[in-house]
Structure 1
Amino acid sequence: MKKNGFAARVLTGTMATLFVFCGLAGCGEKEVQEAPKEEITVTFMNQDTTLGTVNAVAGELLDKASYEAFEQTEDAEFNGWFETPSYLETSKKDLSVDTFEKDTTLYGDFRANSVAEDTRHWYIAGSSKKGTLALNNWAGSLSDEEKATFELVPTGNATNEFALTIDLFEGDEFQIIADWSWDTQKGFGKFTQIDESQMENAGGLAGTDDKANVKVLTDGNYTITLTTNPDNQAQDTLSIVRNSDPLTDGTENQ
């Protein structure tokens, strides 16, 4: 019994000590303090010209009033903000829903109402196991007559709009070039309209999506359309649409 009395006194003393300690320290009450939110800067550009900057909080939407004036310009149509100066479609940002976690530079795509005429000749360049691109062989040595079969010609529908309709087969790879020269190559990243169940990014030697090979996943007769701006080649865009099954089986090129 003495042992039990001693144990009781020890327990009582311990509880009293804890009571006093908890009373001072606030036992069971967790004080949650939010970490200070990081401030970031978003810089807005029109090509090489800085339009202005906006101070913001990481992870929060920008105040529209802080940047909407940057979207206004004379003699041009605003076409969105991009994280890449080449206006890579996958880098396009919708500032009504997209937020940023660090300092960011955004590039405005301003489409001039009038542009210089593009007098260059545009071609598809690529390779194939059985289609017409087998002859092309990545813009190999061809006669002018042979080159003509791979040329995107003016559509007459819009300024500097060129198009080519061609049979493409699974495994074919291609890019678009001007004047049979690789100085102006345009690949997967320049396509603003492309069905990724039919085409995929196959990479390439240049190391950027803008100059990556387009690889065909689905046989078909396709129309490739190119729109250019000689004053700002970053605004050049491509689209590809499948019209039907191939009009030929490709065996004539084997």
Structure 2
Amino acid sequence: MRKCRAIFMVLLSIFLSIFLLTACGKSDSTMEPAVSKNPDSSKEDIKKTLYIVTFYDMDGSTELSKEEVKENESVSEYTPKKENYIFMGWYATPSLTHKYDFSTPVTADTKIFAGFLEDKEDTRSFAVVGSGKSPILVTSNWGTVINDNLILTKEKDENAYSINMDLYEGDEFQLATNSSWFNQRGAGYLTTTSQDGMEYFAGSGGNYQSAEAKKANIKCLKSGNYTLKLTTYPGADVYDTENSNYTEATKENFNSNPYDTIEWIYNGEPKDPIADITTSYYIKSSITTGWNDVYKDEYRFKEIDGLPALTIKLAEKEEFLFTSTVKAGDAESVGNEYVKFSNIKDKNSLEFVEGSASDNIIAKAAGVYTFTYNPETKELTVSFKTK
């Protein structure tokens, strides 16, 4: 019996030893990742997510400042100072072709370039040049007349010019420095054409934001009283010297600026009554007038049965359109209303003419044409006979 008990005690001791060894092994195994972790690994992770954003001067090499930015966070914008220069913003390329977007997450070391302009005083005088139903534009006659009422007021110690004026739907104008339209600032300089979802202005004949529309007329779409403000940066004026018509004497006709702006405020209804004007219409043709504006009586619409009408002989495939003049009192000026193929809605009229790619009208056959225009509906009708 004692022998059996001794054997039992030995076996129990062996079992307990094995159990304790196994338990210790399991405990060491579960704790191993915490013990083996590199205490410097978190610092290495932070280093890998930091990027350097360097701000440079407009020369592309002079360093202005540096900032460390965590991955996928954006860098903060600030305004640098430079004596005798105006800061125009931060750009993504040294050529300053497009501005840097500060909402963009930083995912690599980044370079940002400052755009500066020489702080140069503008000594020019700007005026409104245009035509329309507004009394001020009737007087202008596209810049033939520039009086005190047409000249913008320059703000003291600023390159900013402003004018308050009535405009009526269909009026067209630009800003320029003289009757030769030097330094013209057209629709491409507008900061916007709309307000609260309503369009107030348009670039006449094209998209006002396109490069080609810099010198397009500004067309009024809503009658009212407006305050216009032109802000200039003469230190950035450029000249199209590659234009075949460019000369030193006429260089200001080829002047433009990437930073100048025209802002506007709509003040409500017009203050003065619309000008009492008479509109006349004339043909302008590839053959009959050689594409020149010829304001002769033989080319002018006469009133027949209460509507303007013109009877004239045209050649086969002759291309043409109709232009206008406006007269207020004794002053007559070139108008901004044009009558083209898109004004023809009548199916019978379309049997005698067709349209060109530029919306001009083309005579299908040689003969005598009669054109009747309704200024209220803007519709043109056509009749034809061979002799």
TM-score range, shorter chain: 0.5 to 0.7
TM-score (norm 1): 0.56
Shift of 1:174: 1.2
Larger Rg: 2
Retained in 1: the 8 A contact 2:60–2:113? no
Which has the higher relative contact order, 1 or 2, with Cα contacts under 8 A spaced 6 or more apart? 1
Per-residue CA distance 1:84-135 (angstroms, 9 max, x = gap): xxx9xxx964513469xxxxxx9964355x422x222201111214542123
Where in structure 2 are the equivalents of 1:69-218 lying within 5 Å? 72=80, 74-75=82-83, 76-80=85-89, 93=99, 95-97=101-103, 109-112=115-118, 114-116=119-121, 118-139=122-143, 141-142=144-145, 146-156=146-156, 158-192=157-191, 194-195=193-194, 197-203=199-205, 208-218=212-222
Percent of residue pairs identical: 28
Give, in whole Å, the separation in 2 of the partners of 1:51 and 1:134: 53
Give, in whole Å, the separation in 1 of the partners of 2:214 and 2:115: 16
Where in structure 2 are the equivalents of 1:48-87 lying within 5 Å? 72=80, 74-75=82-83, 76-80=85-89
Structure 2 gaps of 5+ residues are: 1-55, 63-71, 106-111, 238-256, 278-327, 329-387
Give, in whole Å, the separation in 1 of the partners of 2:222 and 2:61: 44
- Cα 1:109–1:133 change in 2 (3 A) is farther
Give, in whole Å, the separation in 1 of the partners of 2:87 and 2:167: 34
SS at match of 1:251: coil
Aligned positions, number: 185
Retained in 2: the 8 A contact 1:124–1:175? yes
Structure 1: which amino acid aligns with 2:149?
T
Shift of 1:74: 2.0
Retained in 1: the 8 A contact 2:173–2:218? yes
Give, in whole Å, the separation in 2 of the partners of 1:78 and 1:62: 25
Shift of 1:216: 0.6
Give, in whole Å, the separation in 2 of the partners of 1:120 and 1:62: 45
- Cα 1:245–1:227 change in 2 (3 A) is same
- Cα 1:186–1:252 change in 2 (3 A) is same
Give, in whole Å, the separation in 1 of the partners of 2:192 and 2:276: 30
Give, in whole Å, the separation in 1 of the partners of 2:205 and 2:91: 21
SS at match of 2:87: strand
Retained in 1: the 8 A contact 2:164–2:227? yes
- Cα 1:148–1:98 change in 2 (3 A) is farther
Give, in whole Å, the separation in 1 of the partners of 2:115 and 2:169: 34
Per-residue CA distance 1:138-167 (angstroms, 9 max, x = gap): 21x32xxx52221102133x5122111110
SS at match of 1:192: coil
Q: Does 1:228 align with 2:216?
A: no
Structure 1 gaps of 5+ residues are: 1-43, 53-60, 100-105
Give, in whole Å, the separation in 2 of the partners of 1:194 and 1:96: 26
Per-residue CA distance 1:174-209 (angstroms, 9 max, x = gap): 1111133323111122122553611112247x9713
Give, in whole Å, the separation in 1 of the partners of 2:135 and 2:276: 8
Give, in whole Å, the separation in 2 of the partners of 1:150 and 1:62: 51
Give, in whole Å, the separation in 1 of the partners of 2:142 and 2:61: 41
